[in-house]
C-alpha cells in the first residue's frame, strides 16, 4: 500500500492521534458503534481551531460524542454523503451541518465539497438530518430487505417468477440486490442507532399488517378507502413528480425474457405510501437528502399510484388473487421479523438476518449492483 502512494505527497502515520496532531481538518470515518472509542483515543491531540467532522449516518450519536470530548474552541462541521462508493461525488447529494463553528471554518468546508462538485444541502441541525435519514435510508432499506427475505423464505429467485416480471419489479429486484451487495453493519447502524428510525419502521410494519389483514378478509371498501386516502395525501396534483421512464424500467430485467408477466399486489409499495400518510411525511420534501435507493422507491411508488389502471390491477390482485397470497404472507412475516429486530435494538441479530439473505442471492449480487447503478444513471438522466 505504501508503494502505491509514492509520489502523491501522502504520509502514513502510526495512529489516529498522530493524524489529529497534524490536521487542520479531521474527518472521523468510523462506524457509529465504534466512534466514541476512536474519538476518546485521539481527541487530546486535536489542534485548537481545527475543523472536526464525521461521516456517520446517525448524527445524534456523533454530535453527542464530539460534544463530550472536544473543547469549545474546536469547530464541528459535519456532513453525510448520500451515496455509496459506487458513484462519483459530482452531482450527488451531500448534507452539510454547521453544529459549532466560526464563519471562516464553515466556509472552508462548504468550499471543499463545492470544489468536488457535490450537490450540497445545508441543514440547520442534526435532528432534522436524522429524521430525514430515517425515511430515506432506514425504512427504505427495511422495505427492500423484507422483499429479499420473503423471496429467500419462499425459496425462489424473483426474476424466475411471473409475478415479478414488470418494470416496477425490475426496480425492486435490482435495488434489493444492490442493498444486499454491501456490508450488513452499514444498514444495522442506520436502523438501530438512529433515534427516529424505530418509530418509522414500526409504522411501516403496522401499515403493512393492517393492509394485509384487509386483503385476506377481502374488505374491499375499507381497503380502497385507505389506499385512496394515502394516494391523495402523498401524490396530490401540486407535487412536482419524478416521472420514471416506463421503457427504461422494463429494459433492466434479470430474467430470460420468456416468462409472461402476472399481476402483482405490490404490497410493499402500498404499505410505504400508507405509512407516509399516517406519519404525515411528505417524501418529496425528503428528496433534499435523497439516496439512489430512496429515489427509486419513491419513483416506483409514484409510478404505481399515478397510473390508475395499474393501481386498480394492484388492488384487485391484493384482494382476490390467491396465487400471490403466499408471497404476500412471506413478505408480511419478513416485515414483522425486521421490525422486531430493530425494535429490540439487536445489532447482531440484524447482521445475521442480513447475511443469511445475502448468501441466498450471492451469485447475482455483483450483476445486480452493476445493473442497478446503470438503472439509476439512466433514470436520473431521463
CA dist 202 and 306 (Å) reads 26
What dihedral do alpha carbons 296, 212, 134, 154 form, nearest 10°?
-70
Instruction: Specify the pLDDT at position 289.
Output: 83
Together in a domain, 358 and 255: yes
- The cell numbers describing 340, all together, are 422486531
Together in a domain, 118 and 49: yes
Instruction: Specify the pLDDT at position 140.
Output: 94
What dihedral do alpha carbons 82, 342, 201, 38 form, nearest 10°?
-30
Q: Contact at 8 Å (CB) between 264 and 163? A: yes
Mean of the per-residue pLDDT values for the chain? 92
Look at the chain and report how many structural domains it folds into.
Answer: 2
> At which of 124, 142, 169 does a domain end?
124
Q: Is the pLDDT of residue 129 over 90?
A: yes
Question: Model confidence over 160-180: pLDDT tens digits?
Answer: 999 998 889 999 999 999 999
Together in a domain, 117 and 146: no
Say whether pTM exceeds 0.85: yes
Quick one: which of 131, 16, 130, 134 has its CA closest to 64?
130
Together in a domain, 135 and 117: no
Together in a domain, 146 and 225: yes
Q: Contact at 8 Å (CB) between 243 and 281? A: no
Together in a domain, 95 and 148: no
Least confident segment among 42-46, 72-76, 83-87: 83-87
Instruction: Specify the pLDDT at position 332.
Output: 98
> At which of 124, 142, 161 does a domain end?
124
Instruction: Specify the pLDDT at position 288.
Output: 86
Together in a domain, 74 and 160: no
Together in a domain, 152 and 70: no
Give ∠ CA 298-299-301 in degrees, rounded to 5: 65
Together in a domain, 328 and 371: yes
- Average pLDDT for residues 88-115, to the nearest whole number? 93
Q: Choose between 143 and 19: higher pLDDT.
A: 143
Q: Contact at 8 Å (CB) between 95 and 123? A: yes
Q: Is the pLDDT of residue 382 over 70?
A: no
DSSP annotation of 89 reads S
> At which of 124, 139, 164 does a domain end?
124
Long-range contacts of 364-370 (CB under 8 A, 24+ apart): 364/157, 364/177, 364/254, 365/177, 365/180, 365/181, 366/181, 367/177, 367/254, 368/173, 368/174, 368/176, 368/177, 368/178, 368/181, 368/254, 369/86, 369/177, 369/178, 369/181
Together in a domain, 211 and 136: yes
Give the rounded percent of residues in the chain with a pLDDT score beyond 70.
98
Instruction: Specify the pLDDT at position 259.
Output: 77
CATH, residue 114: 3.40.50.720
Together in a domain, 104 and 137: no
Instruction: Specify the pLDDT at position 258.
Output: 66
Question: Model confidence over 272-325: pLDDT tens digits?
Answer: 999 999 999 999 999 888 888 898 999 999 999 999 999 999 999 999 999 999
Question: Model confidence over 48-72: pLDDT tens digits?
Answer: 999 999 998 899 999 999 999 999 9
Q: Is the pLDDT of residue 2 over 80?
A: no
Domain that holds residue 373: 128-381
Question: Model confidence over 237-268: pLDDT tens digits?
Answer: 767 778 888 888 888 888 776 677 899 999 99
- Average pLDDT for residues 40-47, to the nearest whole number? 92
Together in a domain, 52 and 195: no
Among 5-14, 145-154, 259-268, top mean pLDDT goes to 145-154
Question: Model confidence over 199-241: pLDDT tens digits?
Answer: 999 999 999 999 999 999 999 999 999 999 999 999 987 677 7
Other C-beta atoms closer than 10 Å to the C-beta of 258 total 5
Amino acid at each position: 500500500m505504501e508503494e502505491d502512494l509514492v509520489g502523491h505527497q501522502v504520509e502514513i502515520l502510526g495512529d489516529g492521534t498522530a493524524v489529529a496532531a497534524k490536521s487542520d481538518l479531521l474527518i472521523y470515518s468510523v462506524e457509529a458503534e465504534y466512534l466514541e472509542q476512536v474519538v476518546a483515543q485521539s481527541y487530546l491531540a486535536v489542534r485548537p481551531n481545527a475543523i472536526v467532522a464525521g461521516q456517520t449516518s446517525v448524527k445524534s450519536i456523533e454530535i453527542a460524542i464530539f460534544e463530550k470530548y472536544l473543547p469549545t474552541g474546536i469547530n464541528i462541521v459535519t456532513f453525510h454523503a448520500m451515496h455509496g462508493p459506487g458513484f462519483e461525488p459530482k452531482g450527488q447529494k451531500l448534507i452539510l451541518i454547521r453544529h459549532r463553528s466560526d464563519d471562516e471554518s464553515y466556509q472552508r468546508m462548504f468550499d471543499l465539497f463545492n470544489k468536488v462538485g457535490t450537490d450540497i444541502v445545508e441543514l440547520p441541525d442534526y435532528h432534522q438530518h436524522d429524521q430525514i435519514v430515517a425515511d430515506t435510508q432506514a425504512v427504505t432499506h427495511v422495505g427492500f430487505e423484507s422483499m429479499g427475505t420473503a423471496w429467500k423464505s419462499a425459496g425462489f429467485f424473483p426474476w424466475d417468477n411471473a409475478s415479478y416480471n414488470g418494470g416496477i419489479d425490475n426496480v425492486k429486484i435490482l435495488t434489493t440486490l444492490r442493498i444486499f451487495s454491501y456490508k450488513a453493519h452499514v444498514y444495522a447502524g442506520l436502523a438501530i442507532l438512529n433515534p427516529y428510525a424505530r418509530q418509522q419502521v414500526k409504522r411501516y410494519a403496522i401499515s403493512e399488517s393492517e393492509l394485509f389483514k384487509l386483503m385476506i378478509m377481502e374488505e374491499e371498501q375499507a381497503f380502497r378507502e385507505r389506499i385512496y386516502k394515502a394516494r391523495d395525501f402523498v401524490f396530490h396534483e401540486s407535487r412536482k413528480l419524478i416521472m420514471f421512464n416506463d421503457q427504461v424500467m422494463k429494459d433492466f430485467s434479470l430474467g430470460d425474457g420468456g416468462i409472461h408477466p402476472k399481476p402483482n399486489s405490490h404490497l410493499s409499495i402500498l404499505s410505504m405510501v400508507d405509512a407516509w400518510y399516517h406519519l404525515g411525511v411528505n417524501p418529496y420534501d425528503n428528496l433534499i437528502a435523497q439516496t439512489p435507493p430512496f429515489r427509486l422507491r419513491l419513483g416506483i411508488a409514484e409510478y404505481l399510484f399515478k397510473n390508475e389502471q395499474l393501481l386498480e390491477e394492484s388492488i384487485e390482485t391484493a384482494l382476490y388473487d390467491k396465487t400471490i397470497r403466499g408471497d404476500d404472507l412471506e413478505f408480511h412475516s419478513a416485515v414483522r421479523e425486521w421490525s422486531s429486530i430493530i425494535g429490540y435494538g439487536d445489532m447482531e441479530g440484524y447482521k445475521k438476518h442480513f447475511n443469511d439473505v445475502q448468501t441466498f442471492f450471492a451469485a447475482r449480487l455483483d450483476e445486480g449492483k452493476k445493473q442497478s447503478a446503470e438503472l439509476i444513471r439512466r433514470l436520473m438522466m431521463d
